[in-house]
Amino acid sequence: MSATPAPARPAPAPAAHREAGPGETLSLEARLAAIDAAMTVRLDEAAVAYEVRTAHIHTDPVSLTDVVTVPDALPDTHTTPAASPATYRTPVAALLERAQHRMTVGGWCSGALTDASGATCMMGAIRAEAGGSHNLEADALAVLRDALNRRFGGDISVPDFNDAHGSGRVPARMLGEAASLADARQL
């Protein structure tokens, strides 16, 4: 810390009301102005005391390169994301869980099954994790749609739900809820 004094605080504005005489109480504005003035004095005194107490301490400037670390390289999202923990044993529930993991790790997109960076929408993640099994993909999408309709009511399609969000947080959470539902149904 430098030994320069703290910047002076502006003086409190004078109260718009007249001063109270003996036996009269101060208005709210007058009381607040008095408290503001007292606190300003206390803060100024504390700032000076801090500068005096810490003036003898020598500190070297901190370089942000010593503090902030970043990975050497970003993960390749074009490859399959790292395997997720297998919580569910039923095929549809396991597929939905893998799709949730893929979308969380690989990124989320809207308006397309996948984008140029490898991010996926809900359907894209399910399709990628289904490994070409159209029956398994259809069953997973049916459970996901049922979970969406249970949670939000109405007749919501998976693409409409996915594209209605600005981030992948809620769609990923719904994949997890659908996985739980599929497991409860033994699918």
Q: Which two tokens stand for residue 103?
A: 């979308």
pTM score above 0.75: no
Predicted pLDDT at 21: 61
Termini Cα distance of the chain: 65
- Choose between 133 and 86: higher pLDDT: 133
Q: How much is the mean pLDDT over the chain?
A: 81
User: Which residues neighbour 33 within 8 Å (Cβ) at sequence distance 6 or greater?
Assistant: 12, 13, 14, 15
- Choose between 75 and 175: higher pLDDT: 175
pLDDT tens per residue, range 40-56: 999 999 999 988 888 88
